[in-house]
Homo-oligomer: A and B are copies of this chain.
Amino acid sequence: MSGLIGLDWGTSSLRAYRFDGTGRIAEARARPWGIRQLPEGGYDAALADVTAGWPALPRLACGMVGSRGGWHEVPYLDLPADATRLGQALARLRAADGMDVHLVPGLRDPLGPDVMRGEETQLAGALALRPALAAASCFILPGTHSKWAMVRDGAVTGFRTLMTGELYAVLQRHSILGGHVPAADDEAFARGVATARDSGAAGALSRLFSARALMLDGALAPASVPDYLSGLLIGEEFRAALADGLARRDAPLQLVGDDALCARYRRTAALFDIELPPPLQDAAAHGLWRLAVQAGLAVPASEETRAC
């Protein structure tokens, strides 16, 4: 029996993939068991449950499971890093069931310093899905902590974390700007993006209070404040990335992530006169398979083998 069990194990969720011998996903499961909210019995119990009934295959995990507060700390790998180096740097732990779990290291950009855990696997998967982007590109991975990662010759050469998602959440929940029920106001979103885009070198942090002042002024409905704020913060990502040279108008930009959030990023890009192609999906799963092959944990079946 050939194949792989891949685990995308983050702060708030656990996704498990059973790959067949050709790298196709035969089955996927999800549990709300991030490393901060494990079931009784901890990591071992979570692993046993999420893989119940699956054959004994090599197991490879990525994400916060390898962080200091995770199951087993795996040191960050310094940039530049490509799939080969990542595959060589896997760590290993012995689970209670007597079998190993291999762990993908996170990446560290010494120039920040900045760090990522889990996104390195998504990037490996994204490059497997779009080999043409390996030469020179910039990947955008939106989320609680968005990552903008530069790739040159197949290796990640630099990245930056932007706390857009978390900032939106804490402002919406705990600040004077929050508390309004979102109305899904596309126009308010675009207005927030434009405010960030046009804020010049001062930047959108200096325009944050506009979400309140516009509302007091009667120029923004309370229910439109959340979308305005979302546009302002995502717009600031693009403004800062362009100012910093992270995003360059002459290098392809590629989104990686779920549709709903990526749609906001595509809309924002359009307001910056940047055309973004549709996002790549299931990049973590593709990356787990690719890194497992790279490390020799998984052996892809050739067409001949499968024909047997």
Contact = CB atoms under 8 A, between A and B. Distances in A.
A134 to B, nearest CB: 26
A146 to B, nearest CB: 10
A161 interface: yes
Interface in A210-255: 210, 213-214, 216-217, 219, 236-237, 240-241, 243-244
Contacts of A214: 113
A161 B177 CA distance: 13
Copies in the complex: 2
Nearest to A164: B205
Contact of A240 (B108, B205, B237, B244): B205
Interface residues of A, number: 40
B243 A201 contact: yes
Interface string A92-135: 00000000000000001000111100000000000000000000
Interface string A171-203: 101111000000000000000000000001111
30 contacts: A68-B216, A108-B217, A112-B210, A113-B217, A114-B210, A115-B213, A160-B209, A161-B213, A162-B206, A162-B209, A163-B208, A163-B209, A166-B176, A167-B208, A170-B170, A170-B171, A170-B175, A200-B201, A200-B244, A201-B201, A201-B243, A202-B241, A203-B204, A203-B236, A203-B240, A203-B243, A205-B236, A205-B240, A206-B240, A206-B241
